Structure 1
Amino acid sequence: MPFGIGIWELLILLLVLLLVFGPKRLPEMGRQLGKGMREFKESVSGKDDDGYDDDVAELPPAQPAETSTTATARERDTVS
């Protein structure tokens, strides 16, 4: 066993954790610990796995909106 912890010490530690935090909170803590370790590992390894490629083509520029006299008339009516 790592760190010189035997099976009995590990069982006592798990029992104390179960008594202190309860059966409902323990799985949530395990998930949070795993998520934190995974994020730490990704940040140390330098991997940027956010699902986006750097080679993604840029979007074309937006077309200018056509102005109509009715839209400007409506805007004047609502502003004044």
Structure 2
Amino acid sequence: MEENKLSFESKKIMTMGTVKEMTGLSERQIRYYEEKKLVFPERSSSGTRKYSLSDIKLLINIAEQIRKGIHTDMIRDQIHGENLSIT
């Protein structure tokens, strides 16, 4: 069951509009986080960004950390550190 949950949460199927609505972030903020290599959406054949539930959780976490004054470089190091410890 846990494996199904992980694959469900990692499916990149949501568009920018849905992500904006779910996170409360602007398109510019989301693109900025992508530019800073904090989140990695997939692209459809037409170039549309696609996000997963995991991406949404990550975006919310990033926005909270930025509100606390944490710099994007520190957030990126933390994200990469977390990813390394999972694998």
TM-score, normalisation: structure 1: 0.30
TM-score, normalisation: structure 2: 0.28
Larger Cα-atom Rg: 1
Q: Which has the higher contact order (CA 8 A, sep 6+)?
A: 2
